[in-house]
Amino acid sequence: MDFTLGIDVGSSWIKLALVEYGNDSNIKDIIVERIRKRNPTQVIEKAVDHLLNKHGLSYDDLIYVASTGEGELVRHKRGHFYSMTTHARGAYYHHPEVRTVVDLGALFCRVTTLEKGARVRSYAMTGQCASGSGQFLENITRYLGVTIDEVGPLSLQSTNPARTSGICAVLAETDVINMVSQGIPTPDIIKGIHISIAGRILKLLNKLKVESPIALTGGMAQDIGLLAALKEQLEEKNMELEVFTARDCMAAGALGAALWGGFRHYKLLKVKQ
Amino acid sequence: MDYPAFKQFDYSQSIAFARGLVDDLNFSYVSRWKKANPSARVIGFLPIYIPREIIHAAGMLPVGLFGAGDRIPVVRGDAFFQSYICHLPRTVVELLLNGNLDEFDGFIFPSICDVIRNMSGIFMLQSKNRYIRYLDFPQNFDEQIGGVFYRSELERLMEDLQKLNNSGIDTQRLNISIDLYNKNRKLLKHLQDFRAAHPHKMSAVDYYLIRRAGNIMSVEDFNDLLESLLESVKNVEADEEDKIRVVVTGSFCEQPPLGLIKTIENAGCYIVDDDFQLGLGWMKKDTPSDTSDPVNALVQAYLQDSIRSSAVYDSENEKGDQLAEKVKHLNADGVIFCAPSFCDPALLDRPHLERAMDRHHIRHFSFQYHENLGQFHVIKEQAGTFADMIKLWE
């Protein structure tokens, strides 16, 4: 049996996917671990040890260990794949019909269009400003005194969404502080933020002239409020695009890395022959 | 010179020493060298190439000036250059005006582009009591035209240096110097070959630091350092990763920040060859060191054995084929064109080189940088995508 391991190192979370690689690859396990204030390299090594022990495996049993994201923090790896490539592959694994993948990570939002076989056709991503990112949303939850899990359901309760800056995270955070002091209800503030983030995603989708269906990956893809806001905006703009949250969305990068790792392993073997 | 025992350095000591030299904008190595050689002079030179053998034979220390990266704020340096001029001259002028180059007795500005040529004028105005020389190189490689011209340039340089140092450059001394630089190029070639075969054992940043330090140190010290490094690097334990092999070209003058070099490697590319310190390997062959006319040997070496860089006019357009040949020889997967913003020689050459790569079916991509660049995200995206494309779909 051929096993591959994908390790996606984000700014807040480490994601691991252990895959039994073959013509019909199977996911053996997925681990998602928050870094908190720990040394990321140690968190990775501990998580890998735990995963391998759990399945009675060692590094020697893995035909390919692939990193993605901040891969330089992974000590024992064979190769690295870029996030857009791995998220595309991860989403494609569960949803082979998908034509566009939107990775909603902690620091960036990235749109990738796919060809058959999860090959990347084009991509676009947000710039340096963090206002379309998960980290920004997490900061906002601190001002509002809610947990990240409450964000989605609260957003759906909004009746009169507030308007926030869609360009700058600093301005948007200032907006939120002002709104709190003005007594604007929390659901309306959150919905306003979701609309702002959805607006940024929409700009990227327009830029690439994407095709449907669109799968959302990354941590923010779990946010049902953001998904709803995005669907509403697509409808408002008469853009007939189907959008949904990918299965294993949070670990899509790790899953894609593991799958590409297996593919690469056999490609190298073929080249050697 | 009484310096650390380079021959006993292990790998990490060699790299740490080189990093110390590269980071040191006060050129304390130069100060120590002058203390050890009180009557000798130090000559700074700008990229890319100068015949260091002549300076060495005059009993002087040639020191490469490759800018200051992001380590100094440019305050006065900006006043001398328009906004469409590259960054390196700004930090070099800033170093001069800040007194970082006070230990230098002279400066040579090779003909590479208009900016470097004009810098010789700025230095003349700002540094009046020191030797300033614009050294022209022939663009005509005919012995009777370019050869005669280049010989006259070198003879004038030798005359100047002899006056500056109050000592002659005789045939024997020049031959000894030529021999030392031949040895230096050989050692560098061994290191380059080792790295091309085992890029995982020596990172591109470490390799860069060693070569850059070599443009600051005396050739004797550098040779000692290289000899010990060639031994110690074999013992480096590092796992080889599945990365593509790339040749980086276009960065021969203004140097890329270390972060940029690291970014390219972290994005999945082993840099198996680059032109960051191009002048160190300007000659493809040894220059004869046993002739009765060593100046002629240097002239002939320049005409016949020098590499074709972007600073050389090339009517036969052989640079593209030269690059393609290098890619094939190194078994590289592609080329990264990495040139400083506003670098006329590199950017004017780029379309020709890109066309040559297309002709040879070699993958490539390009970007621009400046020496004080601090954000590498876009470059990481490009290099990462490039690596994935080759690894998965080529």
Domain boundaries, given as residue ranges, for chain A: 2-81+251-272, 96-246
CA distance B54 to B52: 5
Render each residue's pLDDT in chain B as its tens digit; 394 residues.
Answer: 556 688 889 999 999 999 999 999 999 999 999 999 988 999 999 999 999 999 999 999 999 999 999 999 999 999 999 999 999 999 999 999 999 999 999 999 999 999 999 999 999 999 888 999 999 999 999 999 999 999 999 999 999 999 998 888 999 999 999 999 999 999 999 999 999 999 999 999 999 999 999 999 999 999 999 999 999 999 999 999 999 999 999 999 999 999 999 999 999 999 999 999 999 999 999 999 999 999 999 999 999 999 888 988 877 768 999 999 999 999 999 999 999 999 999 999 999 999 999 999 999 999 999 999 988 988 988 899 899 999 999 8
Q: How far is A5 from chain B (nearest CA, A)?
A: 14
CB proximity under 8 Å: B 181-240 to A: 239
CB atoms within 10 A of CB A241: 18
Q: Is A77 on the interface with B (CB under 8 A)?
A: yes
Q: Could you say which of B239, B377, B392 has the minimum Cβ distance to residue A263?
A: B392
B266 and A85: CB-CB below 8 Å?
Answer: no
pLDDT in tens, B305-332: 998 889 888 777 689 999 999 999 999 9
Within an 8 Å CB–CB cutoff, is residue A267 touching chain B?
Answer: yes
Measured between CB atoms, does A3 come within 8 Å of chain B? Answer: no
Across the interface, whether the CB atoms of A82 and B391 are under 8 A apart is answered: no
CATH topology of domain B238-393: Rossmann fold (3.40.50)
CA atoms within 13 A on the CB side of B34: 14
**Range A96-246: architecture per CATH:** 2-Layer Sandwich (3.30)
Q: What is the C-alpha to C-alpha distance for residues A211 and A205, in angstroms, rounded to an integer?
A: 9
State residue A20's pLDDT score. Answer: 97
Give how far A234 is from chain B: nearest CA, Å. Answer: 28
Question: Which chain B residues contact residue A79 at CB under 8 A?
Answer: 241-243, 268, 391
SS3 assignment, position A114: strand
| Max CA distance (Å), chain B | 64
How large is the average pLDDT for residues A40-47?
95
A176/chain B closest Cα distance in angstroms:
29
Nearest to A79 among B243, B377, B385 (CB): B243
Q: Do B385 and A85 make contact, defined as CB atoms within 8 angstroms?
A: yes
Q: What is the mean predicted confidence (pLDDT) over A55-83?
A: 94
Q: Which residue of B has its CA nearest to A64?
A: B242
CA distance B239 to chain A (A): 8
Q: Is the pLDDT of residue A166 over 70?
A: no
Q: Which fold has domain A2-81+251-272?
A: Nucleotidyltransferase; domain 5 (3.30.420)
Of B242, B243, B384, Cβ closest to residue A82: B384
Residue in the block written with tokens 């960065």:
B251
Inform me whether the C-beta atom of residue B377 falls under 8 Å from chain A C-beta atoms: yes
Burial class (CB in 10 A: 0-12, 13-18, 19+), B294: buried
Within 10 angstroms of residue A139's Cβ, the number of other Cβ atoms is: 15
Strands of the sheet with B363-369, listed across from one edge: B269-274, B244-249, B334-340, B363-369
Residue carrying the six token digits 């659901």: A187
Q: What is the reported pLDDT for A117?
A: 86
Q: What is the pLDDT of residues A196-217, one digit of tens each?
A: 889 989 999 999 989 999 999 9
CB B380 within 8 A of CB B148: no
Q: Name the residue among A71, A125, A264 with its Cβ closest to that of B391.
A: A264
Contact A80 B392 (CB under 8 A): no
pLDDT(A273) > 60: yes
Q: Which residues of B touch A72 (CB under 8 A)?
A: 266
Check if A147 contacts B (Cβ < 8 Å).
no
The upper half-sphere exposure of residue A192, i.e. CA atoms within 13 Å in the direction of its Cβ, equals 20
- Give CA angle at A212 (A207, A216), nearest 5°: 80
The encoded tokens of residue B262 equal 């690291």
Q: Please classify residue A26 by burial: count the beta carbons closer than 10 Å to its beta carbon, then call 0-12 exposed, 13-18 middle and 19+ buried.
A: exposed
Task: List the structure tokens of A97.
Answer: 């019909």
Task: Tell me the chain B residues in contact with residue A71 when contact means C-beta distances shorter than 8 Å.
Answer: 266
**CB–CB of A80 and B267 under 8 A?**
yes
The answer to whether residue A129 scores a pLDDT higher than 70 is no
Three-class DSSP category at B192: helix
**Over the Cα atoms of chain B, what is R_g?**
20
Buried b (16+ CB within 10 A) or exposed e, B93-118: bbbbbbebbebbbbbbbbbbbebbeb
Q: In the prediction, which pLDDT does B375 show?
A: 86
**Could you tell me if B113 and B86 are in contact, meaning their C-beta atoms sit under 8 angstroms apart?**
no
pLDDT, tens only, B267-278:
999 999 999 999
We find that the CATH architecture of domain B26-167 is 3-Layer(aba) Sandwich (3.40)
Smallest Cα–Cα separation from B103: which of B22, B59, B19, B43?
B43
Q: What is the pLDDT of residue B220?
A: 96
Question: What angle, 0 to 180 degrees and rounded to 10, lies between the N-to-C axes of helices A148-156 and A186-208?
Answer: 90
Distance from CA of A82 to the nearest CA of B (A): 5
Cα distance from B27 to chain A (closest Cα, Å)?
33
Q: Domain-by-domain residue ranges, chain B?
A: 26-167, 238-393
Weakest-pLDDT range from A131-140, A226-235, A246-255, B146-155 = A131-140
Cβ of A79 within 8 Å of Cβ of B266? The answer is no
| Of A64, A81, A125, Cβ closest to residue B388 | A81
What's the CA gap between B215 and B94, in Å, rounded? 20
- A2-81+251-272 and A96-246, same CATH topology: yes
Nearest CA in chain A to B377: A128
How do beta strands B269-274 and B363-369 pair? unpaired
DSSP bridge partners of B340 = B369
pLDDT, residue A11, reads 85
